[in-house]
Structure 1
Amino acid sequence: MRIGINTLFLVPSDVGGTEVYLRETLKAMAALASGDTLVVFTNRENDDLLRADLAAFPQVEFHQLPCQAATRPLRILVEQCLLPFTARNVRVDVLWSPGYTAPAVCFSPQAVTVCDLQYKSYPEDMGWLERTALDVLVQIACRCCQAVLTISEFSRQEVIRYDFAKAAKVHATLLGVSNDFAQNWPEDQAENILRRLGVHRPFLLCVAHSYPHKNIDKLIEAFALLQGEIPHQLVLVGKGRRGEEAVRKSLLKITQPERVLRLQGLSEQELRTLYQAAEMFVLPSTYEGFGLPVIEALQVGLPVVTVQAASLPEVGGKAAFYVPEPEPKLLAEKISEVLRLPQQELRRLAEQGQKWASTFTWVRTAAQTLQVLRSIAKPQS
């Protein structure tokens, strides 16, 4: 089977968890589908990156299309008009679009991944025009494709609830976490990375862009309530988004602003070092299609505090600690409660979290994706 993969949406280091999902699933899929050919349609920004990722797999072929994903109108035009004919010319049996949108007309069966419908629940995260255009394109994709993939059961129910697709063609394919994510760097190397980043132990870690629903401002306010009781630094990793004004106001409540460190554009090694060196991971988000940072934190044995909302209980299971809503006082109380746990209990929880995280694998994600794609592929002539 010739499996087409539409990666035109991907701007490296810009789309967060969706990039991790695509790249890790592709690598696992290439390893599993040894008898198939993966036909990857790339853009000018991601072609080199994906070629490097998949260099070890001879059954992968690449076709770079003339667009840059950062120029969204052109990317959509190429996806709608040029991609279907290119896919037909190279004879794909099925086309998978992992980034929410897909061609309205295609000469082969299609599947699309809708990671979440965040813009429906949190319209303030986007401008009106961007939100309206995305809504139209996602609805078209869900109706034109023979299968819709989601990354959690929560997201699957969202697609069904908003009537984007009937239940029978919506499939949940949960994400994974790499086994080597918890691989420790040599201590001197880790210390050098922390020093270069300006990180001081002990510290609390949060990995999230500052969209309003991520509630970074409320985490900062919770830290303001705790700063006189704990010696920790608060390390926030993520880009500034539409919640920046609230974040700026919350930072004014910190009496020792040097104890809040904001970082972005980190390398994979730097990010992993932060996970491994942190004392706790906190994600106060109220909407996640999956919540990949939660499973990454559990994989390295961190206690996780998050919110009983959206997909987060599905991903954190019994291994995470939850607050009913991300109010600063509730967050502060839960963080303080976990920090006071005996070391023996923390070690037990770390083992429990790592065992739970080990059930989330990219091999499973890839296998489930391949199963769906094979079920809708046109018969080979």
Structure 2
Amino acid sequence: MRIGINTLFLVPGDVGGTEIYLRRNLLAMVADNPQDVFVLFTTLDNQGLFRDELKAFVNVEYVVLPFRAAIRPVRIICEQLLLPWYVWKSKVDVLWSPGYTAPALCSCPQAVTVHDLQYKSHPDDLSFLERITLDALVRTSCHQCEAVIAVSEFSKKEILRYGCAAEKKVHAVLEGVEPDFARPVTEDEAVQLPVAGNPYILCVAHTYPHKQVHLLIDAFSRLAEKIPHHLLLVGRPRRGEAQVEESLAACPARDRVHRLASLEYTELRSLYQQADVFVLPSEYEGFGLPILEALLAGVPVVTTDKASLPEVGGDCAVYVQQSCPEGFAQAIVDVLGKTSNERAEMIDRGMIWAQEFTWKKSAARTLHILRDTAGTLCTFQG
């Protein structure tokens, strides 16, 4: 088969979990299926990333569209008007769009991955124009594509709840986690941390309003006098940054709160493994990959019981039922107060659970759906 991959949404380092989702799935697909040809439709922003990451494989072709995806309106126009021509010219059997949206018109069968419908539940994450544009594109994509892939059962329910697609065409395919998170960091790989050797609480999240990073800072403010820990926040400023800044300004231990931008994979692995507890205070996640990364790295996890997070964390995380500073503070105290045996048992259980989520499984299931999708048109034409 010739499998087309629409990577136009991917601006390296800017789209968070959807970038990891595409890169890890694609790597597993290409490596495990040398008989298939993967045709990547890339942009000026991301072509170098894919050429470097997949340079060892001869079953990959590249078609570069001459624009930069960082300019979103240009990306939308090119995806709808320019991409279909390149797809037709490349004679692919199926086109997979892993980033929410797909061309409305296409010469081959299509599948699209819709990671979540966060813009419906948490509209404050986007401007009004961004919301209505995204909703129109997602709904059109779900309608036009023969298959819709959701990254969790929760996301599948959201797609059905908002009437974006018929149930028969929506497939839940769980994400994986990189197994290297379990590999102990060597001395050479260890990151020099701003916490200066002190124990710390870790959070990995951009400051979108629904991530509720400000509530974690408020919780830390209540704990600061009782624990020796620092708070390490990894993520870029987003539309919830004003609330974060307010919480930081009111924090009595502001000098013990440290912020880092997005890091390289090996650096992030080091941060996880050296943390005493990982906290994801988010109210809405289509999947919640950081939960698995932390569990596999051997870190106790505190998160909410919202959206897909219980599905991802299973019975291996501590869940806060009410999203408030007091709730997070109590959960953190409970985890830090566990005996060494209790902590070791919690970590072992979490690592075993996380090992069940692999990109190999995710890629195999996704490719099976793509083969079925390609077959729908072949059968019709035959």
- Could you say which TM-score interval applies, normalised by the shorter chain? over 0.9
User: Does the alignment pair 1:366 with 2:363?
Assistant: yes
Which of residues 225, 230, 234 is equivalent to 1:233? 230
TM-score, normalised by the number of residues in structure 1: 0.97
Which residue number in structure 2 is paired with residue 379 of structure 1? 378
Which residue number in structure 1 is paired with residue 266 of structure 2? 269
Which residue number in structure 1 is paired with residue 204 of structure 2? 207
CA deviations on 1:184-233 (whole Å, 9 max, x unpaired) are 2223641xx224x4554300000001111111010000000000110000
CA deviations on 1:320-339 (whole Å, 9 max, x unpaired) are 11011221001101100110
User: Are the aligned partners of 2:189 and 2:267 in contact in 1 as well (CA < 8 Å)?
Assistant: no
User: Does the alignment pair 1:107 with 2:104?
Assistant: no
The residue type paired with residue 97 of structure 1 is S
Which of residues 243, 250, 253 is equivalent to 2:250? 253
User: Are the aligned partners of 1:194 and 1:274 in contact in 2 as well (CA < 8 Å)?
Assistant: no
Which residue number in structure 1 is paired with residue 136 of structure 2? 136
Classify the secondary structure of the residue corresponding to 2:314: helix
- What is the correspondence of 1:11-160 to structure 2 with a 5 Å cutoff? 11-160=11-160
- Counterpart CA distance in 1 for 2:156 and 2:317 is 22
The residue type paired with residue 200 of structure 2 is F
Further displaced range: 258-267 or 21-30:
258-267
The residue type paired with residue 68 of structure 2 is Q
- Counterpart CA distance in 2 for 1:201 and 1:175 is 33
The residue type paired with residue 297 of structure 2 is V
Which residue number in structure 1 is paired with residue 294 of structure 2? 297
Residue 55 (structure 1) shift: 1.1
- Counterpart CA distance in 2 for 1:312 and 1:130 is 26
User: Are the aligned partners of 1:204 and 1:233 in contact in 2 as well (CA < 8 Å)?
Assistant: yes
User: Does the alignment pair 1:171 with 2:168?
Assistant: no
User: Are the aligned partners of 1:38 and 1:59 in contact in 2 as well (CA < 8 Å)?
Assistant: yes
Which residue number in structure 2 is paired with residue 221 of structure 1? 218
Further displaced range: 162-171 or 257-266:
257-266
- The sequence identity of aligned pairs, in percent, is 53
CA deviations on 1:76-105 (whole Å, 9 max, x unpaired) are 111111111111111100000000110000
- Counterpart CA distance in 1 for 2:349 and 2:286 is 23
- What is the correspondence of 1:262-341 to structure 2 with a 5 Å cutoff? 262-341=259-338
Residue 241 (structure 1) shift: 0.8
- Counterpart CA distance in 1 for 2:211 and 2:90 is 42
TM-score, normalised by the number of residues in structure 2: 0.97
- Counterpart CA distance in 1 for 2:212 and 2:51 is 36
User: Are the aligned partners of 2:101 and 2:138 in contact in 1 as well (CA < 8 Å)?
Assistant: yes
The residue type paired with residue 147 of structure 2 is A
Residue 33 (structure 1) shift: 1.7
CA deviations on 1:283-329 (whole Å, 9 max, x unpaired) are 01010000000000000111000000000000000111101122100
User: Are the aligned partners of 1:295 and 1:316 in contact in 2 as well (CA < 8 Å)?
Assistant: yes
User: Are the aligned partners of 1:295 and 1:357 in contact in 2 as well (CA < 8 Å)?
Assistant: yes
User: Are the aligned partners of 1:199 and 1:261 in contact in 2 as well (CA < 8 Å)?
Assistant: no
Q: 1:234 to 1:150 in 2, by over 3 A?
A: same
Classify the secondary structure of the residue corresponding to 1:8: coil
User: Are the aligned partners of 1:305 and 1:335 in contact in 2 as well (CA < 8 Å)?
Assistant: yes
User: Are the aligned partners of 2:79 and 2:103 in contact in 1 as well (CA < 8 Å)?
Assistant: yes
Q: 1:251 to 1:53 in 2, by over 3 A?
A: same
Residue 379 (structure 1) shift: 3.0
- Counterpart CA distance in 2 for 1:165 and 1:379 is 22
User: Are the aligned partners of 2:143 and 2:164 in contact in 1 as well (CA < 8 Å)?
Assistant: yes
